[in-house]
Amino acid sequence: MKKLLILFVLMAGLSIFLAARNGGEIAPECSPQDVREQGTLYEPVEIETFDSAKKSVRIRFDKIPTRVLVYEVNTLETLLAFGQGDKILSASLNTSGETYARLKKEYPEELAKIRHISQQEITREQAIAYQPDFILGWKSTFSPRRYGRTEWWQERGVNTYIVATSNHVVKCGTIEDECKFLDDMGRIFDVSEKSEALIAAIHAETESVEKSVADEKKQNVMVVEVGKSEIMNYDDGWIVGDMVRRLGGYMPVKSPSVGAEDLLAQDPDVIFVVYFNSRHREESEQFFQNVRFNSLQASRNQRIYMLPFWYMYTPAVNTLDGIRAIKKGLYPEL
């Protein structure tokens, strides 16, 4: 008996050591009752989303999810903004990074409710161990090197949701796709009053600008991201393309990447430069301060604008801020 006890302690210690070494956490046993559900009545909700093959599927919720795994920041921020921090079982966040600091400043109470924060990306094995009842993320979330295919989870009774504007799930992402995501989250978590208010604000802002600039000349726009070896180009198939189009601009460049010569040849009226953090922003600003770009009209007219990544890629609750940032770049006087 004593030998069995010693063996059990050793195995438990080894499990904790391996989890710590991999930057993950072992989820303790906790039931959905650990989180108080909102109210006693919940009308079943059917939601249309996508599977790993980008095919449309319908999922059903008979109650509010209470053991949610969230992948990527804007999906996480949406749940925090909608007051659902206590439903989040785990999320991957570097607690010493800028993203965590921003979320802590914006949603301190909700962020504190998340039951587990992993410093590194959660593995598929850890995701299984958490025993979630809902997984929310991008298409890339449900790839073999991350959580595995959506079908695998659905067969085991775990609902999965893929954001339509991620990884080119839809050919041309739109503001309305993002509004649908917000509406879906409002319905799933029974907080439609919050999602509807945000959607109404997005529509009001977009329609107001459209009316104001209806007679203005359309502006040539490029949205780029400066990398170590290339300049990535976001074409009008991304949601930022719909923002630009709806606000009176056009994005003629279709190639996924461009060179300095391409930028000079295109010579757009406005350039939005995507950045991920303060360091990347500084590097991107320095890149465009190079004398070779002095001939760009966007440089001469001081119309090169830094654009946060979370404003323009699956922006979710940051969609309104993204629209306002594009508006300010295209029409500083408005």
pLDDT at 135: 97
- What torsion do the CA atoms of 125, 128, 130, 131 make, to the nearest 10 degrees? -170
* Residue among 80, 65, 151 at smallest CA distance from 110: 80
**pLDDT at site 34:** 44
pLDDT at 14: 39
Whole-number CA gyration radius for the chain: 22
pLDDT score recorded for residue 38? 45
Kindly report the pTM of this predicted structure.
0.87
- 278: tokens are 């303060």
What stretches in the chain show pLDDT beneath 50? 1-39
Q: CA 214, CA 208: separation in Å to the nearest integer?
A: 10
The pLDDT assigned to 40 comes to 57
pLDDT in tens, 108-154: 999 999 999 988 889 999 999 999 999 999 999 999 889 999 999 99
